[in-house]
Structure 1
Amino acid sequence: MLSATLATPAVTAWLTGTATGLGLFAVVGAQSAFILRQGLMRAHLKSIILVCALTDALLITLSVLGLQLLTGMVPWLTQAVLWFGVAFLSWYGVQSALRAWRAESGLQAAKVAVPSRRAAMLAALGFTLLNPHFWLDMVVIGALADSFAETRLLFAGGVITASVLWLLVLAVGSRLFAPLFQKATAWRVLDALIAVVMIGLAAGLLAKGI
């Protein structure tokens, strides 16, 4: 009876969506690096997670309902997002590199320097929406959802579940590693790694845009 229940189209769509979402989201990209740093600073983490989760949920639902149609109708939209992403990631990468070079980190210093809740939430939104890889993921999700017909929204629910799970992993992980980051050296290493990730992503996008 249990195996028959698990084999229903609805459950299959949800499980497939969850597996797809984990495969797409469980990487340390721009959004993940930003969340980790804010979590280590214990700075507006709940608000940032909420913004990311709601944005992911909204765009996943829209992608399943027809994001491909939108990009087909507005061809320049993909290119515009790409160039905004290059600029945004480059700027944040340079800022991280400067923090690492100048040793302006350390847990206490970072708490003082953290922006307001509104600024942190806007940054979280920027790392989500100005990331062309995110939009590519949405197109992939929309394409895969087409094969689930009437259960496509359950597929979307599975992808949303995966998004929330990954965000919670980042939030919990940042808290667990907080004691290590009492030392300024650890912050410099983290900022250097973030700079490499951000500038590497920007360079990859730039190569695609040229």
Structure 2
Amino acid sequence: MLLTSAMSGFTSGMGLLICVGSQNAFVLKQGLLRHHLFAVAATCILSDIILISSGIAGLGTLVKHWPNVMEFVRYTGVVFLAWMALSSAKQAWYGNAHLTPSGTAPAHIKPVLMSCLAFTWLNPQVYLDTVFMLGSLSMPYSGIEKWKFAIGALTASAIWFVAITYGAKVLLPLFRKPHAWRVLDTTVALMMVYFCVSLLTTPLISS
């Protein structure tokens, strides 16, 4: 039963994590820039520990009974994503040459971590995936088996964020060209617009 519950948590967590979202786009970009990789990966993993544990402990049910909490997160996320879409669009338009990894001075760690926290905690999709979905998927388990499921999901989170931060270097030869960064920034801007519009048009909790 240990293997069953842990593997179920691992596959569920990995299935929810491996999607192109705003948080993953930010983490991938930091991985390409080679800036503060450990701090970014650790921030994402520690945040998932809190969110996944809370979801499995029952926070998802609590939040569902207080929809105003999610509505606040929803509209805060809209503002944040709209701002990030504008920033990425400006970078794509002007083609910031200083983004070349080999010639870029590392950004200060504080703004990088603040952005990482914002992409994590102001992203309603994170709550839907880690709190509601994983919390719901853990319901068939009880007692220690429920927490074995949580360990599996947290293992998936750790592997994923380490992989996209440290594994991004595989793409570095491509991103030594400024044009590639403009394409990436354009893609990120379009993604942010899509997520922003989705949040505006789709309630997070059905009434």
Query: Could you state the TM-score of these two structures normalised by the residue count of structure 2?
Result: 0.91
CA contact (8 A) 1:41 1:110 kept: no
Partner of 1:147: 140
Q: Percent identity?
A: 34
CA contact (8 A) 1:18 1:159 kept: yes
For residues 166-185 of structure 1, the aligned pairs below 5 Å read 166-185=160-179
The CA deviation at 1:115 is 3.9
Gaps of 5+ in 1: 1-8
More displaced stretch, 70-79 vs 27-36 = 70-79
The CA deviation at 1:147 is 0.8
Alignment partner of 2:95 out of 103, 116, 131: 103
Partner of 1:49: 41
Partner of 1:5: none
Match of 1:28, SS? coil
Alignment partner of 1:62 out of 54, 58, 63: 54
Rounded to whole Å, the distance in 1 between the matches of 2:62 and 2:166 is 36
Is residue 37 from structure 1 mapped to residue 17 from structure 2 by the alignment?
Answer: no
Rounded to whole Å, the distance in 2 between the matches of 1:108 and 1:164 is 25
Letter matched to residue 203 of structure 1: V
Higher relative helix content? 1
For residues 192-207 of structure 1, the aligned pairs below 5 Å read 192-207=186-201
CA contact (8 A) 1:83 1:209 kept: no
Rounded to whole Å, the distance in 1 between the matches of 2:5 and 2:111 is 37
Gaps of 5+ in 2: none
Give the aligned CA root-mean-square deviation in angstroms. 1.8
Rounded to whole Å, the distance in 2 between the matches of 1:87 and 1:209 is 16
Call closer, same or farther: CA 1:147–1:104 in 2, change over 3 Å: same
- The 4+ residue runs of structure 1 with deviation greater than 4 A are none
Match of 2:19, SS? coil
